[in-house]
Structure 1
Amino acid sequence: MTKAGSDIPDIADQLATLRSSSLTSVVEKEIERLILSGALPPGERLNEFQLAARFGTSRGPLREAMRSLHAKGYVEVVRNKGVFVRKIPIEEALEIYDLRSALFGLAGRLLADRLTDEMLIRLKEYLDLMDEIAAAGDFERYYPTNLEFHAYLVESAGNRTLVKEYRSFVHRLHLCRQRTLVQAKGLYVSNHEHREMIDALASGNENRAHEAFFRHVQRAKQRFLSTFDETAKAQATKAD
């Protein structure tokens, strides 16, 4: 809808679009919080009617939020059945960690040869910020910052195919990484490893950078495994 004789959208339409976008964002963040906290456990079916009533919203913003959460890897859509919180078997998660470690190690090797002073400054700023957030125990701030940090490293490696493949694994491991950082008390430990990675990059040694990046993901894999009981770990190790 536009005003008569004008191509400028009516202000009411603009405000309606803004409200809808803001509401979708709020709903998305709340569902994400419920998933990460375990209030909506893996395998749980997300009922549109119940969620719409819970948030006091129409199903439109809710469906937009679901699409975004699906793209992030938090939920999966099963045809003719609905939307469910993603559930990844332990053995599959371990396999994905191994593939991710290989790609991340390669990113470290490539980046060691491309690192600039400007990149190094930005990376150290990330480290300082994550130390500050970890000290406050604020997981809700740490996790997205952690994702940004890793994404910056991979994207700076200069290989678009690597970025694409790495992102696919990251999306599939969202819930696993959250479990590791929270249940294995991994905020400080993770950022200590980040500093090892940046030191390796700053040395300019490609082999050292490759090893630091690879080892970081493998350690995350072990922290993930440590969050399960002995029976589950034995089954996963046997399958691996």
Structure 2
Amino acid sequence: MSVTVKRPSTFTQYKTLLVKDLRQEFRTKEMLTSMGIYALLVLIVYGAALAQTAQVFDILQMSGGLLWALIVFTSLLGLNRSFTAEKEQGCLEGILLVPLDRSVVFLAKATSNLLFLLVVEIITIPLFYFFFLTSTTPSDSFWLIVVPLVVGTIGVAGIGTLLSTITINTRGKDVMLAVLFIPLIFPLLYACVSATTAAIVGGDLFMETFTMSLALAAGYDVIMVLLSWVLYDFVISV
């Protein structure tokens, strides 16, 4: 008597891979701990570097750029470690032997990276506010920084997942990921910095600048994340 094994649905495969990543991270906490400590160290360096200039420069105008520099460099550390466990334990080869759509691997890994980055941002943004913005008066629209942060983090997680897969087997993968990642996300970074700064500073041109920058960031996300999703099957199979 033959037994027919039903293939799991795409959503079931996605959920299984995502739960695997979440359980692995919350068991070891290696990625979250390293990103959190690194973000705190960057804030300390910011404080030391700007200690003598805070009265000369408008910290509100600089805050968007400082915040996104913190996010980008912290995300690089996390993305470099996103495939470490799979590579060291041979888990990635096992996943590739399973008859599943390779794009599901991308979606699950990108989602887990996105969630980890958002957790770190939830921790570091209040610290950033405490260190640099308590002596100033941000605009009433300050809470809107959540929107460009979420939109930008989606792009960072999607593009970073593709690039971390490309560089996983290269020499000096930490440097190689940064070399590929920074130029590729520059349009997204520029738009998110503009929208974040507009939300913090406010002013007469706030809504126009915020809306245009956010539209640019969202459009970039759609194009690049879809492109990463389409290319992932080829990239991970090489």
TM-score, scaled to structure 2: 0.31
Query: Taking CA–CA contacts closer than 8 Å with sequence separation of 6 or more, which of the two structures ends up with the larger relative contact order?
Result: 2
- State TM-score, norm by structure 1: 0.31
